[in-house]
């Protein structure tokens, strides 16, 4: 039986149209970027007052996060599964490591947290991509 099918029926229906998918492809990275930027600025101010530089720092972090996330969502499916999983794990590890480093831990702890998360992300994503592609690297849905 083909992935994405059930006995006696064809593919599972796609409840969203193409326009909604295009909108979501923009809204998700922007929304996640705004949450990430707020979190970075909150960690950076250590419970003190909100300043203009703090807000600016959070907006820059949000912009960088959103651009990289959107790029990975757009270009990732065109890459080999190993590269795709490696890029997502590097992004996740760097994002969490940077976020954690804003709270001033020792550098080696921030690096270890980042590497541990990147390793776990790589294993999970590689497994996901490996089980959803054929031997030639074509997606199976």
Confirm if 70 and 23 have CB atoms less than 8 A apart.
no
pLDDT at site 141? 63
The DSSP secondary-structure symbol of 9 reads S
Could you give the number of structural domains in the chain? 2
pLDDT digits (tens, 9 = 90+) for 48-57: 888 899 999 9
The answer on 28 and 46 residing in a single domain is: yes
- Domain hosting 93: range is 80-141
Summarize pLDDT for 22-49 with one digit per residue, the tens.
888 899 999 999 999 999 999 888 878 8
Domain C-terminal end among 59, 78, 97: 78
Residues 72, 120 share a domain: no
Residues 137 and 90 in one domain: yes
Closest CA to 92 of 131, 43, 36, 14: 36
Handedness of CA 75, 24, 121, 89 (dihedral sign): positive
Instruction: Report the alpha-carbon distance of residue 45 to residue 121 in Å, rounded.
Output: 29
pLDDT, mean over the chain: 86
pTM exceeds cut of 0.85 = no
- Domain shared by 58 and 99, yes or no: no
């Amino acid at each position: 039986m083909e992935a994405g099918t059930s006995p006696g029926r064809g593919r599972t229906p796609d409840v969203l149209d193409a326009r909604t998918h295009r909108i979501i492809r923009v809204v998700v990275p922007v929304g996640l970027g705004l949450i990430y930027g707020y979190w970075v600025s909150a960690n950076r101010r250590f419970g003190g007052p909100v300043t203009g530089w703090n807000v600016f720092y959070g907006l820059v972090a949000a912009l960088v996060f959103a651009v990289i996330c959107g790029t990975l969502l757009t270009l990732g499916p065109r890459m080999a599964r190993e590269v795709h999983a490696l890029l997502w794990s590097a992004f996740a590890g760097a994002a969490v490591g940077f976020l954690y480093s804003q709270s001033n831990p020792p550098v080696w702890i921030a690096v270890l947290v980042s590497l541990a998360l990147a390793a776990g992300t790589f294993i999970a994503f590689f497994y996901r991509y490996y089980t959803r592609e054929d031997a030639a690297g074509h997606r199976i849905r």
